[in-house]
């Protein structure tokens, strides 16, 4: 099968969170299973160009109809760890993808509408006719709309669209100017409640468009699919998902064990495996040295992730002090886009600066993330909601025992050491708590820290059990292929 992935991120060239990992990892596994995969991304100024091999111009004169006129674009092609990627450079007056960052601009909906339109024009003009277009998140929600309403009439009638939602919170809300710009026009038609009209506001909703028009829609874990339909986690799209329930489901994300394996990781001090954890002790020592922390006989608890309300920042904050009070050390790696959250963690960083048992690293640092996964003993993931969550899955592979809140994909991947009645002890891999409050978090974290102090052999057994889980892309990719085959039939 010939599949084109269209997305705003792909690790390791451009990654703001899990979306980048998913786009890369799924593409790699689909290729390994014998399919042809190409990726289309925006050409950002802030990409890691050192991770692209052989970048060259592939289609210099792409004229993209836009706002009744045209925007001149150029398409570059390069290989990202063997994956063929097309990067669209837009020469628009707004300089849409030369902003020094991926998201957070006031004209984000217009930027990604332009990218989506350019991606469709690139396929059309270069005569690419994949079997399936796989689009991701709100940034590409207009692609199934344009495919169905416009491009199928230009000879792209056998293409099918699969749409994956990684986060319901960000949906892409815009006014009618987006319709005029993309050539969808006819606001009266698209503003109907069964089309693109937002379920609450008098506005266009990109994600709703993706749900309504794609041939198949999914989110990134089975439990989150259920939550999105039946709870506020659907962020206002519950009724739309209900209406389209026949084509909606959940497929758990995998991770890419070429990138995330303690046996092969180039960023860590020593390799290790479940049978021999001595390398992990060296990684722990190296982490402390790197972060100028005290070398002592204590467990290291960590948090890695965006510092965002979604991630339960109040509990992340609480876990730092609580872990310290329980004789553990704490390492945090996170970045915040909201200034109030950013300020709060900077204040904490200054406050804790002289404490040798804690380090807060504020910013995005891929290499340090690898060192922390390898060097820490326990990771906390106290999310308010979590579509899938990758940090707990990566942690399992690194023998870093997860303490998670029982929501979304966390509950599909972490099984409580003490209380999971559905699994025998030898299949359990972490600790789960349910309430989003400090007693809830403490109940999970205390059990993990206690096990580390009171029963090292059992703690190591738990680490080894987590490391033996296979959350690779093998099975999820097969499920995606089934979806692709279904929508092609
Ligand atoms: P989300 O997609 O909601 O951000 P996920 O848990 O699905 O969260 O994926 C997070 C990914 O981003 C993981 O690969 C994690 O290691 C990485 N990550 C998150 N924050 C940072 C950071 N500050 N520095 C380095 N890597 C990070």
254 and 472 in contact (C-beta within 8 Å)?
yes
pLDDT band at 325 (very low <50, low <70, confident <90, very high): very high
Length of the chain: 489
Backbone angles phi, psi at 194, to 5 degrees: -90, 5
Closest CA to 331 of 296, 377, 276: 377
Which percentage of the chain shows pLDDT scores above 70?
A: 100
- What residues does ligand 1 touch, defined as CB less than 6 Å away? 17-19, 21, 304-306, 333-335, 364-366, 369, 388-391
pLDDT digits (tens, 9 = 90+) for 133-144: 999 999 999 999
Residues 70-87, mean pLDDT to the nearest whole number: 97
Least confident range of 13-22, 146-155, 238-247, 428-437? 13-22
299 and 319 in contact (C-beta within 8 Å)?
no
pLDDT digits (tens, 9 = 90+) for 289-314: 999 999 999 999 999 999 999 999 99
| Mean pLDDT rounded to a whole number for the chain | 97
Compute, in angstroms, the gap from residue 252 CA to the centroid of ligand 1.
Answer: 16
pLDDT band at 18 (very low <50, low <70, confident <90, very high): confident
Question: 3-class secondary structure for the chain?
Answer: CEEEEECCCECCCECCCHHHHHHHHHHHHHHHCCCEEEEEEECCCCCCHHHCEEEEEEEEEEEEEECCEEEEEEEEEEEECCEEEEEEEECCCCCCCCCCCCCCCCCHHHHHHHHHHHHHHHHHHCCCCCCEEEEECHHHCHHHHHHHHCHHHHCCCCCEEEEEECCCCCCCEECCHHHHHHCCCCHHHHCCCCCCECCCCCCEEHHHHHHHHCCEEEECCHHHHHHHHHCHHHCCCHHHHHHCHHHEEECCCCCCCCCCCCCCCCCCCCCCECCECHHHHHHHHHHHHHCCCCCCCCCEEEEEEECCHHHCHHHHHHHHHHHHHCCCEEEEEEECCCHHHHHHHHHHHHHCCCCCCEEEEECCCHHHHHHHHHHCCEEEECCCCCCCCCHHHHHHHCCCEEEEECCHHHHHHCCECCCCCCCCHHHCCEEEECCCCHHHHHHHHHHHHHHHHHCHHHHHHHHHHHHCCCCCCHHHHHHHHHHHHHHHC
User: Atom 21 (ligand 1): residue with closest C-alpha?
Assistant: 305
Q: Report the alpha-carbon distance of residue 195 to residue 134 in Å, rounded.
A: 20
Q: Report the alpha-carbon distance of residue 234 to residue 480 in Å, rounded.
A: 22
Which percentage of the chain shows pLDDT scores above 90?
A: 98
Residues 396-413, mean pLDDT to the nearest whole number: 98
Closest CA to 140 of 169, 167, 168, 119: 119
pTM: 0.94
Residues 363-379, mean pLDDT to the nearest whole number: 96
Judge whether residue 379 has pLDDT over 90. Answer: yes
pLDDT band at 337 (very low <50, low <70, confident <90, very high): confident
pLDDT digits (tens, 9 = 90+) for 85-108: 999 999 999 999 999 999 999 999
Closest CA to 74 of 93, 87, 55: 87
Judge whether residue 373 has pLDDT over 90. Answer: yes
pLDDT band at 488 (very low <50, low <70, confident <90, very high): very high
Neighbours of 141 (CB within 10 A): 30
The CA angle 320-266-299, to the nearest 5 degrees, is: 25
Query: How many Å from the N-terminal Cα to the C-terminal Cα in the chain?
Result: 13
User: Atom 4 (ligand 1): residue with closest C-alpha?
Assistant: 17
User: Domains plus CATH for the chain?
Assistant: 2-254+474-488 (3.40.50.2000), 278-467 (3.40.50.2000)
Q: Report the alpha-carbon distance of residue 449 to residue 463 in Å, rounded.
A: 13
Among 18, 254, 381, 388, residue to substitute to test ligand 1 (most atoms within 8 Å of Cβ): 18
The pLDDT, as a whole number, for residue 10 is 97
| Ligand 1 atom nearest residue 369's Cα | 25
| Ligand 1 atom nearest residue 19's Cα | 2
Among 165, 306, 362, residue to substitute to test ligand 1 (most atoms within 8 Å of Cβ): 306
The pLDDT, as a whole number, for residue 17 is 82
pLDDT digits (tens, 9 = 90+) for 431-473: 999 999 999 999 999 999 999 999 999 999 999 999 999 999 9
The pLDDT, as a whole number, for residue 353 is 95
Find residue 51's DSSP bridge partners: none
160's torsion region: left (phi>0), alpha (psi -120 to 50) or beta? Answer: beta
């Amino acid at each position: 099968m010939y599949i084109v992935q269209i997305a705003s991120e792909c690790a390791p060239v451009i990654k703001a969170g899990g979306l980048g990992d998913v786009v890369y990892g799924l593409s790699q596994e689909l290729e390994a299973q014998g399919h042809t995969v190409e990726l289309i991304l925006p050409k950002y100024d802030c990409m890691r160009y050192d991770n692209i091999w052989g970048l060259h111009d592939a289609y210099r004169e792409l004229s993209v109809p836009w706002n009744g006129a045209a925007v001149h674009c150029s398409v570059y092609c390069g290989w990202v760890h063997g994956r063929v990627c097309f990067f669209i450079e837009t020469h628009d007056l707004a300089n849409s993808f030369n902003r020094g960052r991926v998201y957070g601009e006031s004209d984000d909906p217009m930027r990604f509408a332009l990218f989506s339109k350019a991606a469709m024009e690139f396929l059309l003009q270069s005569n690419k006719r994949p079997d399936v277009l796989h689009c991701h998140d709100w940034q590409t929600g207009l692609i199934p709309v344009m495919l169905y309403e416009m491009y199928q009439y230009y000879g792209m009638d056998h293409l099918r669209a699969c749409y994956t939602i990684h986060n319901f919170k960000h949906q892409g809300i815009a006014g009618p100017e987006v319709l005029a710009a993309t050539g969808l026009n006819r606001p009266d038609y698209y503003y109907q409640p069964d089309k693109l009209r937002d379920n609450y506001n008098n506005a266009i909703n990109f994600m709703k468009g993706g749900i309504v028009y794609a041939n198949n829609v999914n989110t990134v874990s089975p439990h989150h699919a259920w939550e999105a339909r039946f709870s506020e986690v659907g962020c206002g799209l519950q009724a739309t998902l209900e209406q389209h329930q026949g084509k909606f489901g959940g497929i758990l994300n995998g991770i890419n064990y070429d990138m995330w394996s303690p046996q092969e990781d180039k960023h860590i001090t020593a390799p290790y495996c479940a049978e021999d954890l001595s390398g992990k002790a060296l990684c722990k020592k190296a982490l402390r040295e790197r972060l100028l922390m005290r070398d002592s006989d204590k467990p290291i608890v960590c948090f890695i992730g965006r510092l965002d309300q979604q991630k339960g920042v109040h509990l992340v904050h609480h876990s730092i002090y609580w872990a310290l009070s329980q004789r553990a050390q704490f390492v945090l790696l996170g970045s915040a886009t909201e200034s109030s959250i950013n300020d709060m963690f900077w204040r904490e960083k200054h406050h804790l600066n002289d404490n040798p048992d804690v380090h807060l690293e504020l910013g995005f640092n891929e290499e340090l993330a690898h060192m922390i996964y390898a060097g820490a003993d326990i990771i906390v993931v106290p999310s308010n909601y979590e579509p899938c969550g990758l940090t707990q899955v990566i942690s399992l592979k690194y023998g870093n025992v997860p303490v998670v809140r029982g929501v979304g994909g966390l509950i599909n991947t972490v099984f409580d050491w003490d209380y999971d009645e559905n699994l025998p002890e030898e299949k359990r891999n972490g600790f789960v708590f349910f309430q989003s409050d400090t007693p809830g978090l403490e109940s999970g974290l205390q059990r993990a820290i206690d096990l580390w102090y009171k029963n090292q052999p059992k703690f190591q057994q738990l680490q080894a059990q987590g490391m033996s889980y296979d959350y690779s892309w093998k099975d999820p990719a097969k499920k995606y292929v089934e979806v692709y085959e279904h929508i092609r039939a």
